[in-house]
């Protein structure tokens, strides 16, 4: 059995064999995208690579457990993941700060986060933990809830919630890291490896509860484990780069 609450150095496909089946509540997979020249990102077919991951992850998840798989817009195109997991949503992580460098095509300004569950019903979805501020025009709705179309009409179930609204499947409120970001641990991790803590936090809070076990198969510099520790989740992290393992475990020690 792998020790919990640490980042293990090694290859994900080898270490996965040591994870007990039906023991994991949530998998946060920010692995290769297959779009850069980095050695770890050179994948012959990102679709087949992701299908293999999904196939290997499925037995490790509990019924109702969730997988969030990061990638580019085509990361799961033309593969039959339905044999293993149920795709609930394709979340668009919109990153408007990227420079528009396209010359003969539109610049890509977003990543995809594929939200899967094992089975038909999620083990948990904690909406109140991830609500975001209401839009300005929705504030007006609070003042209109006594009008007949709301109290007696077809809009009666659309009550204003003072805690905020569902973040939806387009996340433009969380910005990518820059060279000036205080949480950036090293330039090598910028853009391709280190994700903002707020991004991972939304996923962890939405699809797990305190005491749940979260698997991070490509831990990088340890952002997901740090978020898990902060919110009382158990975790198992895998990372093949020993320098990143050291950075990640140091971050865990300090948080």
Question: What is the distance in angstroms between the CA of the first residue and the CA of the last residue of the chain?
Answer: 25
Decide if 55 is inside a domain: yes
Strand-pairing partners, residue 213, are: 234
Same structural domain for residues 112 and 54? yes
Strand 110-117 vs strand 61-71: parallel, antiparallel, or unpaired? antiparallel
Predicted confidence pLDDT, tens digits, the chain (255 residues): 799 999 999 999 999 999 999 999 999 999 999 988 888 899 999 999 999 999 999 999 999 999 999 999 999 999 999 999 999 999 999 987 666 667 888 888 899 999 999 999 999 999 999 999 876 555 566 665 666 665 666 655 556 677 888 999 999 999 999 899 999 999 888 878 999 999 999 999 999 999 999 999 999 999 999 999 999 999 999 999 999 999 999 999 998
Same structural domain for residues 141 and 241? no
Under a CB-based contact definition with an 8 Å cutoff, are residues 218 and 7 in contact? no
Same structural domain for residues 112 and 138? no
pTM for this structure?
Answer: 0.91
Question: Which residues have C-beta within 8 Å of that of residue 215, sequence separation ≥ 6?
Answer: 19, 24, 26, 27, 28, 57, 60, 235, 236, 237
Domain containing 146 equals 132-165
How far is it, in rounded angstroms, from Cα 105 to Cα 39? 26
Same structural domain for residues 93 and 160? no
Domain count, the chain: 2
Decide if 1 is inside a domain: no
Listed in order, strand segments (DSSP E) in the chain are 6-9, 24-29, 61-71, 86-94, 110-117, 170-171, 213-216, 234-239
CATH number of the domain that residue 71 is part of? 3.40.50.150
Sign of CA dihedral 249, 216, 230, 170: positive
């Amino acid at each position: 059995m792998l020790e919990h609450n640490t980042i293990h150095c090694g290859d994900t496909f080898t270490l996965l064999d040591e994870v007990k089946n039906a023991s994991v509540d949530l998998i946060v997979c920010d692995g290769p995208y297959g779009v850069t020249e980095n050695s770890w990102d050179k994948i012959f077919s990102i679709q087949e690579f992701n299908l293999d991951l999904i196939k290997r992850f499925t037995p490790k998840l509990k019924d109702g457990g969730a997988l969030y798989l990061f990638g580019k817009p085509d990361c799961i195109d033309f593969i039959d993941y339905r044999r293993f997991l149920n795709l609930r949503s394709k979340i668009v992580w919109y990153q408007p700060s990227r420079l528009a460098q396209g010359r003969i095509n539109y610049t890509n300004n977003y990543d995809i986060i594929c939200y899967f569950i094992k089975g038909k019903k999620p083990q948990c979805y904690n909406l109140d933990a991830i609500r975001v501020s209401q839009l300005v025009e929705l504030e007006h709705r609070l003042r209109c809830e006594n009008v007949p179309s709301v109290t007696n009409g077809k809009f009666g179930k659309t009550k204003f919630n003072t805690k905020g609204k569902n973040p939806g499947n387009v996340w433009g409120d969380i910005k990518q890291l820059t060279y000036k970001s205080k949480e950036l641990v090293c330039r090598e991790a910028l853009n391709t490896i280190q994700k903002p803590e707020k991004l991972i936090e939304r996923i962890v809070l939405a699809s797990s509860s305190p005491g749940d076990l979260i698997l991070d198969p490509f831990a990088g510099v340890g952002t997901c484990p740090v978020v898990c520790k902060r919110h009382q989740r158990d975790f198992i992290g895998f990372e093949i780069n020993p320098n990143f393992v050291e950075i990640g475990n140091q971050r865990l020690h300090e948080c």
